[in-house]
A = this chain, B = another copy of it.
Amino acid sequence: MTKIQIKHFELLFNLMLMGAKDNYVKIKTADLAAKLGKSQQAASIYLITLEREGLIERQSSRDGTVVKITQSGLDQLVTVYLLLRNELEESPTSIVLEGSLFSGMGEGAYYMSLPGYKEQFLKKIGFEPFPGTLNLKIDLRHIMEREKLEQYKHLGIKIEGFSDGTRTYGALWCFHCLIESIRGAVVLIERTHYDISVIEVISPVNFRKELNLKDGDNIKLTIFI
């Protein structure tokens, strides 16, 4: 098993610049190698490795390789982007919360799976939520930060409400976030009278599985305004 040496980011970054973010693009391993300052053979191995790790889709043939960055690969790029933005932009733009994981009734998962919401998530936030949300009970010592987030709510990415003929579903506001370095988004609702100490988070992947979490575990959440 070949372990990749140049870390994934640099490779994904270059593939992005070659246009592999939204579309399948045809590239030559030799061109990629030139950008990385490595041999054609090395680039070939890197691509194979990235594919095995699920970060790209790849179809190689005798006259080139067609690649596209997967959702999971895109998440890596976004994670780096958010952290850079937070450090490099004028106004520091993150709120850090801690809380403990708990199981909801599954309503979150239900709402998130509605096409009316789901399609907007994909378009505006950049991923389709894993069916199942993460409920976090915010520690009392972070409650002030939680209040601050509530004030910023309407600066977030707006997910429009909709009606399915039977009932109406309210608008949501979202912020990108990282949960222990995994990409996600916090989801805030309009209702004013609900328990502010609870916060709901969505993600393109199964948090619980990915991070091996169970109810009661303490989680650190970095929210980007």
Contact = CB atoms under 8 A, between A and B. Distances in A.
Interface string A44-87: 00000000000000000000000000000000011011011101
A169 interface: no
This protein's copies in its complex: 2
Contacts of A24: none
A88 B78 contact: yes
Contacts of A9: 9-10
Contact of A88 (B10, B77, B83, B87): B77
Interface stretch (A13-21, A97-105, A106-114, A139-147): A13-21
Contacts of A41: none
Contact of A87 (B16, B83, B85, B87): B16
A87 B84 CA distance: 14
A121 to B, nearest CB: 14
A85 to B, nearest CB: 7
A7 interface: yes
A1 interface: no
A197 B16 CA distance: 31
Interface in A2-37: 5-7, 9-10, 13, 16-17, 21
A88 B81 contact: yes
A17 B80 CA distance: 11
A16 B84 CA distance: 9
A5 B10 CA distance: 12
Contacts of A16: 84, 87
Contact of A21 (B5, B10, B87): B87
Contacts of A81: 81, 84-85, 88
A77 B83 CA distance: 11
Contact of A80 (B7, B13, B21, B126): B13
Given A13-B84, A21-B87, 17 more contacts: A6-B6, A6-B7, A7-B10, A10-B10, A13-B80, A13-B83, A16-B84, A17-B87, A77-B84, A77-B87, A80-B80, A80-B84, A81-B81, A81-B84, A81-B85, A81-B88, A88-B126
